[in-house]
Copies of this chain bind each other. A is one copy, B any other.
């Protein structure tokens, strides 16, 4: 009932292994679920409504997914399977080494992630909403995110710190603040402003401000 028992990652691994074959009806069910979950949220969506929109009998949902919670997982997990590989260490390193400065890295990374999120806007919204709503999912996912994502940002930051690109403050603070800004940027534009389209110019703008700050640089006072 609560999505709480099953550790998210176990589910991810389990599902990854037995790469299911989707029937036509299953596809319809998942599409309908994504659409309605994104619109009204998981808790406010009934399985009967999903069935109606998908054009299948309600029983068919339970034949394939067993429970409503499991259907949510089946919607969310493929999103993560696509999300995390891009956040893999090699990819980070590759972007970082193909780029002259941290500014360029941030731009490239943000553009890449925003494009992906815009392509999968509905699922992204489902995930963020559930992440905020569902304490259990959050407890499962946040440690995983910080282990993977955070540590990789950290590594990249270290790389540019060594090259003397940053002001002289601890890497932890830089990482923390960059993540806060990037997270705030993504969440505000994808969740709070649902019909917003992020332009490349805006990304350039945002990154430039993170790097340069908004204060004037020529006076030496603090």
Measuring CB to CB, which residues of chain A are less than 8 angstroms from any residue of chain B? 39-41, 43-44, 102-103, 128-129, 131-133, 135, 138, 142, 164-167, 169, 173-174, 177-178, 180-181, 183-185, 187-188, 191-193, 205-206, 209-222
A43 partner residues in chain B, CB cutoff 8 A? 41, 43-44
Q: Given A44-B43, A128-B132, do A205 and B191 touch, yes or no (CB 8 Å)?
A: no
Copies in the assembly, this chain: 2
Chain B: CB-nearest residue to A220: B221
Instruction: Give the interface centre of A44, A135, A217 by most chain B CB atoms within 10 Å.
Output: A217
Also in contact, A133 and B138, with CB within 8 A (given A180-B185, A185-B184, A220-B220)? no
Q: Are A192 and B222 in contact (CB under 8 A)?
A: no
- Please indicate the chain B residues that have their CB under 8 angstroms from the CB of A40 in the complex: 135
B213 touches A211 (CB 8 A): yes
Known: A129-B133, A184-B184, A192-B132. A166 touches B215 (CB 8 A): yes
Residues in chain B near residue A169, CB distance under 8 A: 205
